[in-house]
Structure 1
Amino acid sequence: MKLAPTLPELENIPEDHIGGLQIKHEGDWVDVEPVHGALVINIADVLQILSNDEYISVEHRVLANPSDEPRVSIAVFYNPSAKDALYGPFSELTSPEKPPRYR
């Protein structure tokens, strides 16, 4: 992983009461209530790829200013180089009846 400039201690960035995270459910945007002390980690489409579509990514967004208080988000991206990007569905989750959906 590439971090810029440094990753703070995880115990210093728990979920707060501000919120702002929403998911799309049946065509509508629904608020996700914050859980005090939780750490929210979005793994995007990686789990969908690894699970061969057993777990489907959820469309989501974050409202920038749901309150007057400051909101802190830390984005950390995993960016494999082309030669290192060798992941796909777990072989245990593929079969002739359910072939891999991703290369």
Structure 2
Amino acid sequence: MVAGQSESGATAIRPVDGASARGLNFARTHCSACHAVNMGISPKREAPSFEAVVNAPGLTADTLKPWLRDSHNYPEVMNFAIEPAQIDDLVAYMLTLQNSEYTPPTQ
């Protein structure tokens, strides 16, 4: 288990294996300027938190992978691409944030 502090200041403990640890590292390095990559409210309000994304009804690894691949496909806005191996790692990490009792934070 790895303990970390979320953007909101709350401590979060999530299981982290090799792929999800790489995904968390990628998220902290490349995603955290816009998205809350653990728990809390994203630095950019228009960017959904990872926790909100993975707790959407019906979300699975199979639905998350194409969403991640295509969600930043706006070069004029973001000019950001995620390599396939990084998507697999990011999905492994993001799925650790699924919580059947999730409720969106108040804005």
- State the TM bucket, normalised to the shorter chain: under 0.3
Instruction: Report the TM-score, using the length of structure 1 for normalisation.
Output: 0.25
- The structure in which a higher percent of residues are helix is 2
Instruction: Report the TM-score, using the length of structure 2 for normalisation.
Output: 0.25
